[in-house]
Amino acid sequence: MYDFAIVGAGIAGASLAAGLAPHARVLVLEAEDRAGYHSTGRSAAFWTESYGGPLVQPLTTASFGFLEQHGLLADRGGLTLARASEAGDLEEFARTFAALGVRVDRLDRGELEARLPGLRPEWTCGAYEPDCRDIDVAGLHQLYLAQAHRGGAELWLRAELARAERHSEGWQLVLADGRTAQAGVLIDAAGAWADPVAQRAGVAPLGIAPYRRTVVQLRMGTPVPADLPLVMGFDGSFYFKPESGKLWLSPHDEVPCPPCDAAPEELDVATAIDRFEHVIDWPIAALEHKWAGLRSFAPDRLPVYGFDPAAPRFFWFAGQGGFGIQTAPAAADLALRLLLGELAGAIDPVPYAPARLR
């Protein structure tokens, strides 16, 4: 009998297990043969306060201290490029986040050229976020798993939840291989599988949908500056960043996809390279690697944290899109407070409550 059973051992499940373990008996169920196999293990994560929008920003900002304290951040900087037709919207973007306390500097064409030699003429203005950082994703995930283990949490691998049945004291859990367990509270941290897991527990889905995101690694024909910032398109059509002398590039795609072991499609790879070549004239020597992961969003694109209003012992911790890594410390702290019945602290839980989607 466990107090909490968490479905999923990616960054969501691991972070929450780390927080809960000192307070309760915790079981983590992971369907794969290793934790973090899907989205967490395929992330090109960065910490950027504007990423995800104004309602995600408080979670991102509140996570900085933990990430910095544990040595998981490296200086990067974030540069958003825009065309002349987007200048007004870019100005509004900068004003919005500056009002929230985010450092955003406006750049003109000359300043862009100084940072990105070879930039195509259509990119006339930009916004620079000097506080953007790279995140050591593997280091963060392993830190949480280690903390959970030290706190006494159990991690079961190859433990796919087949069904969960409610009873007066919580849940009877039945795994695909026939193993069983009981838990007072069932926590859905299953990422792309969040809705299917809810349905296996007899809980109505929330419409959390997975989308495929493609990333390629390029070897360039010219040296990639080590201090190159994360470069993003204001229209959301690309981002790229340096990585160990190579370039990681994504077309920032969001292709609807069923929950699965995602693989890159050739069309998306070609789209990524084509978009890159319309941004900058750097020669590409070789495509060295390509991969894909799933990002899962609720219909309003905000994360979902809290007890289901129709199933009081079922807790949602899902829908974290592409910002699950950079918000992990604050999200786990918020969920921990809700699970333990404490005050929610500085971050208001209402925007993320499941009830908004019912």
Q: Are residues 173 and 283 in the same domain?
A: no
Residue 57 in domain: no
Residue 156 structure tokens: 């079961």
Q: Distance (Å, rounded) from C-alpha 226 to C-alpha 223?
A: 9
Q: Are residues 263 and 288 in the same domain?
A: yes
Q: Are residues 337 and 230 in the same domain?
A: no
Instruction: Please choose, from the candidates 38, 20, 285, the residue with its C-alpha nearest in 3D space to the C-alpha of residue 137.
Output: 38
The model carries a pTM of 0.96
Q: Distance (Å, rounded) from C-alpha 33 to C-alpha 107?
A: 47
Distances (CA, A) of 325 to 23, 59, 173: 24, 11, 28
Number of domains in the chain: 2
54 contacts 101 by C-beta, under 8 angstroms: no
Q: For residue 196, what is the enclosing H or E element?
A: helix 194-200
Tell me, what CATH number does 255's domain have?
A: 3.30.9.10
Sequence-separated (6 or more) residues with CB below 8 Å from residue 321: 52, 295, 296, 297, 301, 303
328 contacts 140 by C-beta, under 8 angstroms: yes
Sequence-separated (6 or more) residues with CB below 8 Å from residue 166: 201, 202, 311, 313
Residue 278 in domain: yes
- List, for residues 38-93, the tens digit of each pLDDT value: 988 888 889 999 999 999 999 999 999 999 999 999 999 999 999 999 999 999 99
Q: Are residues 177 and 79 in the same domain?
A: no
Q: Distance (Å, rounded) from C-alpha 87 to C-alpha 107?
A: 11
Residue 55 in domain: no
Residue 53 structure tokens: 């929008």
Q: Are residues 128 and 227 in the same domain?
A: yes
pLDDT (tens, 9 = 90+) of the chain, 358 residues, equals 999 999 999 999 999 999 999 999 999 999 999 999 998 888 888 999 999 999 999 999 999 999 999 999 999 999 999 999 999 999 999 999 999 999 999 999 999 999 999 999 999 999 999 999 999 999 999 999 999 999 999 999 999 999 999 998 899 999 999 999 999 999 999 999 999 999 999 999 999 999 999 999 999 999 999 899 999 999 999 999 999 999 999 999 999 999 999 999 999 999 999 999 999 999 999 999 999 999 999 999 999 999 999 998 999 999 999 899 999 999 999 999 999 998 768 899 999 999 999 8
Q: Distance (Å, rounded) from C-alpha 126 to C-alpha 108?
A: 6
Domain that holds residue 189: 2-42+137-207+300-357
Q: Are residues 150 and 287 in the same domain?
A: no
Residue 56 in domain: no
296 contacts 210 by C-beta, under 8 angstroms: yes
Domain boundary among 273, 297, 321: 297
Q: Distance (Å, rounded) from C-alpha 133 to C-alpha 72?
A: 9
Q: Are residues 89 and 236 in the same domain?
A: yes
Domain boundary among 278, 297, 316: 297
Q: Are residues 18 and 146 in the same domain?
A: yes
Residue 193 structure tokens: 């599988």
Residue 118: CB atoms within 10 A of its CB come to 11
pLDDT for the residue 358: 87
Q: Distance (Å, rounded) from C-alpha 161 to C-alpha 29?
A: 8
Tell me, what CATH number does 17's domain have?
A: 3.50.50.60
Residue 102 in domain: yes
Q: Are residues 353 and 213 in the same domain?
A: no
Q: Are residues 215 and 334 in the same domain?
A: no
Residue 50 in domain: no
Residue 70 in domain: no
Neighbouring C-alpha atoms within 13 Å toward the C-beta of 324: 36
Q: Are residues 165 and 256 in the same domain?
A: no
Domain boundary among 297, 318, 343: 297
pLDDT for the residue 43: 85
pLDDT for the residue 44: 80
pLDDT for the residue 344: 64
Sequence-separated (6 or more) residues with CB below 8 Å from residue 111: 126
pLDDT for the residue 226: 87
pLDDT for the residue 181: 98
Sequence-separated (6 or more) residues with CB below 8 Å from residue 31: 158, 159, 160, 161, 176, 193
Q: Are residues 203 and 337 in the same domain?
A: yes
Residue 61 in domain: no
